[in-house]
Amino acid sequence: MKGQASDPALSPLDGFRFVQLVAVPSRPENKSGGPDNAPAWELGSARLFAALTAANAALSVETGVAEGAFMMAWVREPGAKGFRLILGGRPQLPWTSAPLASHAELLRLPYPPGALVRDLPNAQVTRLLETFPCWAACAAQPDALWPGPGRAAGQESGRGSFDDHAAHMPQPFTWLVTAQPQPRKSLDDELADLETHIPGMRQRQNSETDRVRLERAEARYRELTRSRPYGTWTVRVLAGSTDAAHARSTAALLCGASELGGLAYALAPTPTTGILSAVLAVNERTAGAGQTPFTASTEMLAALARPPARELPGIRLAAPPPFDITPETANEPGVELGTVLDE
């Protein structure tokens, strides 16, 4: 589908519970010069993997949840300098949260572990997103031609710097990612289809096109097999702005800036634009550019729907304490120094 998307009757945000991210734990410093001297965004995505694996299990059809979904949005409203980072889950957030002793309005969530959030009413989030009149859909496809997790040391893909581009975007914008756990049967069907076609593709390597097609199919089979224990997702990525031209340019810039350096995926904007509810209902496949929605691994979702790795207006980075602050319970003599309020 191209051009303007049609307007469906039902709001795709119905049934979500939303929270706003207030503070994110910063990356611990590695003073030893060890192997975790990876880019901050890469370590940030790794810290989300367990949380999203748990979310996939909690929101999946196999566990009895109908229409379970996860959502994250970066939002800078018209006239605002600060950002809002919004997390959502349907029918609820997939993780247990607990209020802080010192600030009852704040909750602690494991996205990443130690993040602080506050509740946002569904109606407020709906109004906030609807202030952006035009949205552009983004399409993705797995592509083994991009360096994947097994890339050689020091091999760079040239993609990234999402946080920097978002911080300096001149116009109001939203980067919206929604994801639904893919039923296990759909994953098994895709694996079975690849198993059927790969042997025949190996016998037809008469051109470079055939060899690339085989390489992509084999890489996709390995990725899905590796992802099976952790679950896969049906993902949509949208960019919203003040008009169609700005929505498309925002989508193109942020697709190119997405932190996919370690993932064998290609992400690009499509020609489709429209209001939010319409673009969220689009099903489109573009030759050579992928499709929307698309099937993605948990690693891919973590890269697309991650909090910032740097402090931005409206989002605080908090340094986690490098020592144990669990109150001792033993009734031993000593000097009381104070009371632990929060971890």
The tens digit of pLDDT for each residue in 302-337 reads 999 988 888 888 888 877 666 666 666 656 666 776
Whole-number Å distance between alpha carbons of 127 and 41: 30
Q: What percent of the chain has pLDDT over 90?
A: 38
Residue 39 has pLDDT above 70, yes or no: no
Q: What is the pLDDT of residue 334?
A: 66
What average pLDDT score do residues 56-70 get? 85
- 338 phi, psi to nearest 5 deg: 165, -170
Q: How many CB atoms lie within 10 A of CB 170?
A: 6
Dist. CA 286–CA 93, nearest whole Å: 33
Residues near 267 by beta carbon (within 8 Å), at least 6 away in sequence: 138, 139, 140, 237, 255, 258, 260, 290, 304
Cβ 87 vs Cβ 21: under 8 Å = yes
Rounded to 5°, angle at Cα 177 from 172 and 182? 170
Percent of the chain with pLDDT over 70: 78
β-pairing, 134-142 with 265-274?
antiparallel
User: Per-residue pLDDT for 38 more than 80?
Assistant: no
Q: Residue length, the chain?
A: 343
Label the pairing between strands 316-318 and 17-25: parallel
> Residue 288 — left, alpha, or beta (φ > 0 → left; ψ -120 to 50 → alpha)?
left
Sign, CA torsion 243/244/249/252: positive
List pLDDT tens digits, range 204-247.
878 888 888 888 888 888 888 988 999 999 999 999 999 999 99
Q: How far apart are CA 122 and CA 87, in angstroms?
A: 11
Rounded Cα gap, residues 35 and 124, in angstroms:
43
For the beta carbon of residue 63, count every other beta carbon within 10 angstroms: 11
Assign 200 a pLDDT band (cuts: 50, 70, 90): confident
| CB distance 243 to 134 below 8 Å | yes
- Residue 172: how many other CB atoms lie within 10 Å: 18
Burial of 78 (0-12, 13-18, 19+ CB in 10 A): exposed
The answer to which of 167-171, 190-194, 291-295, 332-336 has the lowest mean pLDDT is: 332-336
CA 201 to chain centre: 33
Q: How many CA atoms lie within 13 A of 251 on its CB side?
A: 29
Helix (H, G, I), strand (E, B) or coil at 58: helix
